[in-house]
Amino acid sequence: MKRIGLMVKKAHPQAMDAAGELQSWLTQRGFTVFIEEAKIISSPSCEGASSVPKDVDLVVVLGGDGTLLYAARTLGRNGVPLLGVNMGGLGFLTETSLKNMHRNLERVLAGDFTAEPRMTLSVIVERAGETITQETVLNDAVINKGALARILDLKVSIDDMELTTYRADGLIISTPTGSTAYNLSAGGPIVHPSQELIILSPICPFTLTNRPLILSERSVVKVEVAPGASDVLLTADGQVSWALEPGDMVIVSRAANAINLITNPYKNYFEILRTKLGWG
């Protein structure tokens, strides 16, 4: 490894201080370092918009899960491994603590690490048969109503076979990595992030028998916005959103590229789960 990118939470003094200290630490060891402040709420299709070059050997993320999701969108699809350093919030993706940052990083720089591939989803919006936008998500794609909209009718099919029409506040289409994000808050299942599958979780469904559903990673999910709907949004990873119109089709399937997240060698997934969720 020769070239290291630092993705830092914007306007976070502790993260900026840590980035400055880490830059000096790496530079003294002969590494070339690039720093960027992450723009958590960003424009669609921001891949390649990062000031950190695509050909870096490693990206260290200093912030929370939102910062890491931004790094994944802008750089992670190039295959570069991401090391997440948690700066204090509830984070499932940023596994390394600031206290253990140097210890973990020394192992990574020596080549002693495991990068776990995380499945991503391709999200396409079609309007009148034309593709109007496309995005890749690590966590989830969410279709929901604006503040003043009524309950939504969303017609869902799986592999061109009709599933149901959800009457709900919205629908979450999630990866296993995203199962501990909005999906968890909506009552969806926790899925080990190494799994490869797709989760559908309706948000506050009108029909109580509409329950979360786990699908094969090979499934293609199509969601049609019903006629008469208004103020409907599609949000990718909580960072980019588009306004949907009646008749729009949202098509979600497994994306070609995975995101490589460096695991914490001192904590396993279940220990992280117990700590984050307060499970005794």
Active-site amino acid positions: 65
Residue 125 C-alpha from the chain's centroid? 18
Residue 82 · residue 264 · CB < 8 Å = no
**Cα(67)–Cα(85) distance, rounded to whole angstroms?**
10
Task: Report which of 85, 119, 77, 121 is spatially closest to residue 8, judged by C-alpha positions.
Answer: 85
Pick from 98, 120, 83, 108: nearest CA to 7: 83
Residue 234 bridge partners (DSSP): 143, 242
Pairing of strands 152-158, 140-145: unpaired
Please say whether the beta carbons of 153 and 164 come within 8 A.
Answer: no
